[in-house]
Amino acid sequence: MQKRKVLSLLIAVVMIIAVLTACSKSAESPTPAPSEEPAESPSQEPEEKPEEEPDEEPATSAEPTEIDFWTFQELHVKFYEKMAEKWNAENPDKPIKFVPTVYPFDDMHNKLLIALQSGVGAPDLVDIEIGKYANFLKGDIQLVPLNDIVEPELDNIVKARVDIYSKDNTYYGICFHVGAAVMYYNTELCDQAGIDWENIKTWDEYYQAGKKLKEALPDKYWTSVESGDIWHMWPMITSQGGDMLDKDGKPSINSPQMAKALEFNRKMVDEGIAVVAPGNYHHSEEFYAMMNGGDIASISMPMWYMDRFTDYMPDLSGKIAIAPLPVWEAGQPRSVGMGGTGTSITKQAENLELVKEFLAFAKLSKEGNIEVWNTLGFDPIRTEVWSLPEMTEAENKFTEYYVNKPSDVLNQIKDEILSVNVSEALPATLDVMKNSVLNRAYTEKNIDIPSMLKEEQDKIKY
């Protein structure tokens, strides 16, 4: 009994002390939240601490938001990583963590199509190549409309480079480049053969120069044609007014313009002036080795091919010049915008507005387009930067590599760059060209090209 009284007394004392302590604390000012700043030393006087602005919020470090990105081109990753760094520096309140994944070309497009159809597994942001893009604009489109970021910039960009990724006046993708087709000349071989590459204006003059090189350097080739891709010959038909598709978006490979271009190239192959590209196209390791070895004097490719030279053909540094393409007749346009990769946002993106803001910053801003030129060597879609010192006077790996300034050539042809026709028929049409037409045109014996074109066009299903 005595023990219980003592215990009760102790409990009462503890409770009284707790109440008194609480009352004492309630009379004091609130305790400040823990700070990330270093604690003051005891010797510092409080009045010596700078007075804070009343409206100033303490600096905080926001948690980065992940943006998943798929591409088939390793080079694009370098550009986006640089733009992500710039974004984070300019937007510390909404930083991003850019998470890229690079897949083989066909694997990526197939994987993306499955992910979008199933509704799971797609990235936030994705590169879709122009030849595959129409496949993603069928049925219930699973890409996010971009009109709210594209339309305010239409007066500042080459509109055709967003039109090619649109449907029913809705924009779904933004291109990296204009893709202006040009000619690349090995000036060392031209000099050895006595060829003035700067004065080649027509395809006939180009052919005559090829004959001259073959006579002077029998073991070399004037040019290369692709039996598995269309870049080398597409401008040869567009300058005549032709195209892969007609104005209504239907296949148009069975045309006089196509026949003329293929017959011209076949003639050069038969005469040993041109060689069919090893590996079938100008992106194969076999072709890079042959071109880098100084065995081919010129090729027709878009301006986005510049980084293939710098990255895969280093021995040609200081030897390659860029020039406008020849034409069939004086006055015809000397270039066409070819190829393209539309960067798009999928409807599975978790932070849609942030992803949109970053895409606009990377692909539509002046800053982003200058970076496109400096990092990728692509002719940017924002035309104002073409004449800016950051582009015309920039010193980068491209100005170091090429004999002349690539930007000078771009400004020479800027008013002559045609656009190609695009529709849902383009993927199937290009497949027939790459898998059958070009190989038959350049390698099949006794080929009647007009008859072959009629036969192949009938095979196109879409």
Q: How confident is the model at residue 394 (pLDDT cuts 50, 70, 90)?
A: confident
Q: Are 319 and 48 in contact (CB under 8 A)?
A: no
Which pLDDT belongs to residue 316? 99
Q: What is the mean pLDDT of residues 355-378?
A: 96
Residue-range domain boundaries for the chain: 65-177+339-400, 181-338+413-457
Lowest mean pLDDT among 81-90, 243-252, 287-296, 414-423: 414-423
Q: What is the pLDDT of residues 295-350, one digit of tens each?
A: 999 999 999 999 999 999 999 999 999 999 999 999 999 999 999 999 999 999 99
pTM of the complete model: 0.79
* pLDDT at residue 163, rounded to an integer: 94
Average pLDDT over residues 71-87: 96
Q: Return d(Cα 240, Cα 338) in angstroms, integer.
A: 16
Confidence of residue 45 (pLDDT cuts 50, 70, 90): very low
At 392 the pLDDT is: 87
Structurally, what CATH architecture does the domain formed by 181-338+413-457 represent?
A: 3-Layer(aba) Sandwich (3.40)
What is the reported pLDDT for 454? Answer: 98
pLDDT class of 19 with cuts at 50, 70, 90: very low
Contacts of 254 (CB under 8 A, 6+ apart): 450, 453, 454, 456, 457
Domain 65-177+339-400: CATH superfamily, name plus number: Periplasmic binding protein-like II (3.40.190.10)
Find where tokens 């102790």 sit: 10
Q: What does the pLDDT average to over 259-282?
A: 99
Measured between alpha carbons, how far is 358 from 97 in angstroms, rounded to an integer? 11
Comparing 65-177+339-400 with 181-338+413-457, is the CATH topology the same? yes
- List, in sequence order, every residue forming a beta bridge with 99; answer none if it has no partner: 68
Whole-number average pLDDT of the chain: 89
Instruction: Flag the least confident range among 17-21, 78-82, 352-356, 409-413.
Output: 17-21
Per-residue confidence (pLDDT) for residue 320, from 0 to 100: 99
Mean pLDDT value of segment 89-118: 98
Tell me, what's the pLDDT at 123? 99
H/E segment holding residue 376: none
What does the pLDDT look like over 126-147, one tens digit per residue? 999 999 999 999 999 999 999 9
